[in-house]
């Protein structure tokens, strides 16, 4: 098995690929794959045969698909489709037949079919939601999809996680009942992740600088908040926003970066009820917009949007604390970090 780390470099119009050494966490053997249009969000199909990338430059909005060479991790372009929107997040459904996308400024979500990695240019869904749509993902059953919307932006956002039913036979989205889950205050949910063992979902909150835990009703596909924990120290008063969120494959630890405080906040996850306990924070590169855990949960990689560097950490498997390793110069405006095993 080989492990590869991909970074989309918006400022360089490049996808960079690295070999990841699972014994040390080290990165090597950089290879670049050009992609004009300010590449940003990335996703793979469940079988890791294809890589999909959202393009965010005005006039070049769209999605691009690549095949992934199972031996080398190299990318070969399959096709490009143009869009009437700026994709900020993409994900494949659990069947590997559909690519879901979220559009912050256009206040909507989309669904495209794909066959052998080739994206259909005609969307199955192009549905208006609200300003600040920032993420879209189906649950493990593939019956429901969730779309967090932040609380502020160029306009006031709805401050909610929109809830949809998803039909995996057609790719259609239908608003659930109720159609959204609301935080108890204007936290601004941005991204979500699913507890691998419990019916619990977590959101990173852009404006609230916090993480909220939600009970997930697997029968109805609805969320209800039960805990919110800050990502910042109490004495920090400068501007900050949260970015992404991930949980380790073991379900024991959860991480959410701070943009402004420039740190990665760490949490222990209770194995019985999914509640969170703050572990602490580790300093990282300035404006950590994108980060990722590796597939084993042993390493974490955090990119600095302002610095163009990628900081690596070892995850202490007893405490969840992050232990700094190497820092890599990777390029201009890293927007996404994606790690896969082949």
What integer pLDDT is reported at residue 121 of this predicted model?
A: 98
* pLDDT interval class at 153 (50, 70, 90): low
Query: Is residue 178 reached through a cis peptide bond, with omega within 30 degrees of 0 on the bond before it?
Result: yes
Question: 């990628």: which residue's tokens?
Answer: 310
Fold (CATH) for 3-341:
Methylamine Dehydrogenase; Chain H (2.130.10)
Short-list 335, 277, 304, 302, CA closest to 55: 335
Question: 């192009």: which residue's tokens?
Answer: 126
Q: In sequence order, what DSSP letters do the residues of 170-195 get, joined into one string?
A: TTEEEEEEEEEE--SSS--EEEEEE-
Asked if 215 and 200 touch (Cβ cutoff 8 Å), the reply is yes
Q: Please tell me the distance from the alpha carbon of residue 46 to that of residue 168, in angstroms, as a whole number.
A: 14
* Sheet of strand 62-68, all strands in order from the earlier edge strand to the far edge: 39-44, 50-55, 62-68, 75-82
Residue 301, helix vs strand vs coil: strand
Q: Please tell me the distance from the alpha carbon of residue 122 to that of residue 82, in angstroms, as a whole number.
A: 10
Q: Apex CA 237: angle with CA 233 and CA 239, to 5°?
A: 105
Residues contacting 18, CB < 8 A, separation 6+? 4, 5, 6, 7, 27, 28, 29, 30
What integer pLDDT is reported at residue 94 of this predicted model?
A: 97
Short-list 50, 32, 41, 152, CA closest to 96: 50
Q: Please tell me the distance from the alpha carbon of residue 8 to that of residue 153, in angstroms, as a whole number.
A: 24
Q: Please tell me the distance from the alpha carbon of residue 26 to that of residue 329, in angstroms, as a whole number.
A: 13
What integer pLDDT is reported at residue 273 of this predicted model?
A: 98
How far lies 82's CA from each of 58, 122, 191, 253, in Å? 11, 10, 25, 38
The H or E element containing residue 298 is none
* pLDDT interval class at 156 (50, 70, 90): confident
Q: In sequence order, what DSSP letters do the residues of 13-47 get, joined into one string?
A: TEEEEEEE-TTT--EEEEEEEE--S-EEEEEE-TT
Q: Where are the domains of the chain?
A: 3-341
Residue 115: which region, alpha, beta or left (left: phi > 0; alpha: psi -120 to 50)? Answer: beta
Asked if 148 and 191 touch (Cβ cutoff 8 Å), the reply is yes
Q: State yes or no: pLDDT of 155 exceeds 70.
A: no
Q: Which residues pair with 14 in a beta bridge?
A: 9, 34
Q: State yes or no: pLDDT of 80 exceeds 90.
A: yes
Start-to-end CA distance of the chain, whole Å, equals 6
Note the pLDDT tens digit of each residue in 82-134: 998 999 999 999 999 999 999 999 999 999 999 999 999 999 999 999 999 99
How far lies 63's CA from each of 15, 122, 212, 278, 282, in Å? 14, 12, 31, 37, 34
Note the pLDDT tens digit of each residue in 216-261: 999 999 999 999 999 999 999 999 999 999 999 999 999 999 999 9
Q: What does the DSSP 8-state code read for residue 120?
A: P
Short-list 266, 264, 331, CA closest to 39: 331
Note the pLDDT tens digit of each residue in 2-12: 999 999 999 99
Calculated CA dihedral for residues 322, 324, 327, 332, nearest 10 degrees: 30
Q: Of 54-68, 141-155, 273-287, 309-323, where does mean pLDDT reach its minimum?
A: 141-155
> Which tokens go with 187?
């936290």
28 alpha-carbon distance from chain centroid: 24
Q: State yes or no: pLDDT of 203 exceeds 70.
A: yes
What pTM was estimated for this model as a whole?
A: 0.97
């Amino acid at each position: 098995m080989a492990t590869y780390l991909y970074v989309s470099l918006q400022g360089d119009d490049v996808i960079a690929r690295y070999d990841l050494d699972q014994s040390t966490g080290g990165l090597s053997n950089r290879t670049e794959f050009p992609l004009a249009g300010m590449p940003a969000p990335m996703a793979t199909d469940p079988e890791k045969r294809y890589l999909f990338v959202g393009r965010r430059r005005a006039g070049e909005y769209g999605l691009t698909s690549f095949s992934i060479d199972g031996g080398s991790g190299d990318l070969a372009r399959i096709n490009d489709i143009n869009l009437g929107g700026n994709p900020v997040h993409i994900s494949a459904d659990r069947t590997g037949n559909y690519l879901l996308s979220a559009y912050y400024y256009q206040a909507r979500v989309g669904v495209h079919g794909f066959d052998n990695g080739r994206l259909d240019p005609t969307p199955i869904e192009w549905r208006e939601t609200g300003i600040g749509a920032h993420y879209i993902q189906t649950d493990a059953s593939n019956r429901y999809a969730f779309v967090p919307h932040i609380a502020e932006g160029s306009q006031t956002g709805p401050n909610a996680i929109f809830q949809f039913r998803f039909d995996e036979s057609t790719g259609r989205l239908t608003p659930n009942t109720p159609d959204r889950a609301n935080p108890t205050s204007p936290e601004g949910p941005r991204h979500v992740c699913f507890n691998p063992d419990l019916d619990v979902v977590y959101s990173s909150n852009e404006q609230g600088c916090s993480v909220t835990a939600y009970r997930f009703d697997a029968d109805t596909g609805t969320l209800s908040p039960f805990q919110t924990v800050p990502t910042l120290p109490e004495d920090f008063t400068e501007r900050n926003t949260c970015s992404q969120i991930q949980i380790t494959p073991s379900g024991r630890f959860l991480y959410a970066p701070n943009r402004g405080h420039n740190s990665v906040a760490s949490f222990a996850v209770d194995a019985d009820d999914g509640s969170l306990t703050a572990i602490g924070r580790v300093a990282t590169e300035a404006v950590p917009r994108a980060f990722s855990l590796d597939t084993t949960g042993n390493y974490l990689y955090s990119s600095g949007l302002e610095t163009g560097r990628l900081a690596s950490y070892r995850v202490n498997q007893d405490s969840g604390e992050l232990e700094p390793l190497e820092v890599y110069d990777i390029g201009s405006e890293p927007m996404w970090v994606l790690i896969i095993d082949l």
